Structure 1
Amino acid sequence: MHQTVTNMIWLLPSQFFAITVTTVVENLAQLMYSVMMSGYMFRDVQFCLKLQQSLEHVALTNAQSIRVR
C-alpha cells in the first residue's frame, strides 16, 4: 500500500501540485548507500554480460573460420 501511494504521488503533474519531501539525515544516507550499491551491482552485472557476449562472439567467429579452412 505504501509503495502504491508513493508511486501515485510521484506521478502527479508538477504544474498542479507542489510536492515537498522531508527526511531524516540517517534515512537519506541509507537510501543513498543502497542506490550506490545497487548501481554498482547492476553495472557489474552489465559488464559481465557484455564480456560474456563478446567472448561468445569471438569463440563463434573462431569456430566458423576454422570450419572454412
Structure 2
Amino acid sequence: MSNTSNRTPDLFDENGEGANLLWQYVQSMAPDTVSQLSKPTSTEVFQVMERNIVGLLGNLPSEHFGVTVTTNREHLGRLLASAMISGYFLRNAEQRMAFEKSLQSSDRHTSDNG
C-alpha cells in the first residue's frame, strides 16, 4: 500500500494528538525492556534480521565502498516499523519452532516409555 499523498501517517506526524506515538511508546519503556527487545535470542534471528535490513538499505559492502544512506523521517519510520514487524514475526516463528521441537521430544519420550 503506497502513500501517494504528501500527508505523513499519524504515527510519524509531529502535529496533532497522535504525534510520535511509536517514539513515545519506546521512550516509556524501561531501559532493560528495550535492551531485551533489541537483542535477538538466537544467532539465526539476528542473521535473518541483518540480511533483511541490508537488503532494504542496499547490498554494497562497506569495506569497499563509502556507503551513506540518506532518508527522511517518514521513510526511516517505515523502515523501523518494518524491522519491528519482521522481528516480531521471526521471534514468534522461533518460539513456535522451539515449542514444536519440545512437543516432538515429548512425544518421542512418551512413545519410548509406553
* Same fold, judged at TM 0.5 (above): yes
Distance of 1:13 and 1:34 partners within structure 2: 26
Q: CA RMSD in A?
A: 1.7
- Give aligned pairs, total: 58
Q: Give the structure-1-normalised TM-score.
A: 0.73
Structure 1 runs (4+) deviating above 4 angstroms are none
Rg comparison, structure with higher value: 1
Q: TM-score, normalised by structure 2?
A: 0.46
Give the superposition deviation at 1:55: 0.8
In the aligned structure 1, how far is the partner of 2:66 from the partner of 2:91? 34
Greater RCO (Cα-Cα under 8 Å, separation 6 or more): 2
1:21 aligns to what SS in structure 2?
Answer: coil
Q: Distance in 1 between matches of 2:107 and 2:75?
A: 48
Deviation digits for residues 11-69 of structure 1 (CA, Å, limit 9, x no counterpart): 0316xx54322111000000100000011001101100110110110111011111xxx
State the percentage of identical aligned residues. Answer: 29
| 2:75 pairs with 1:39 | no
Structure 2: runs of 5 or more not aligned: 1-54
Tell me what 1:58 maps to: 106
